[in-house]
Amino acid sequence: MWSIIVAIVIGFIAGLIARAIHPGNDKAGFIMTTVLGIAGSLVATFAGRALGLYSEGSAAGFIASVIGAIIILFIYNMVTKKKTV
């Protein structure tokens, strides 16, 4: 349980950093950026556990969370991108 809480807190910070690092004009607001960061952190945690990088009770590191948040933010921008005619 504690590892999920740590992943959420780290994800919050990672989302803000990912937004600053990711190029382009993001239309996502503060709450969406936070949610994407938390999702990136949780994805990095569970992917790391599946790959054997983290033990069962540990959360992803900060750098992995930022990378996960950037990937989620990139996918989010690809999905919500509007085509201009």
Tokens describing residue 38: 């938390």
Each residue's pLDDT tens digit, 37-51:
888 877 887 888 888
**What's the CA gap between 57 and 49, in Å, rounded?**
9
Each residue's pLDDT tens digit, 17-68:
887 887 666 666 777 777 888 888 778 878 888 888 877 766 667 788 788 8
Model-level pTM?
0.71
> Residue 85 — very low, low, confident or very high, per pLDDT cuts 50/70/90?
low
Domain boundaries, the chain: 2-80
What are the angstrom distances between the C-alpha of 64 and each of 25, 26, 47? Answer: 23, 22, 10
Contacts with 11 (C-beta within 8 Å, 6 or more apart), sequence order: 34, 37, 38, 39, 40, 41, 42, 65, 69
pLDDT for 82 equals 66
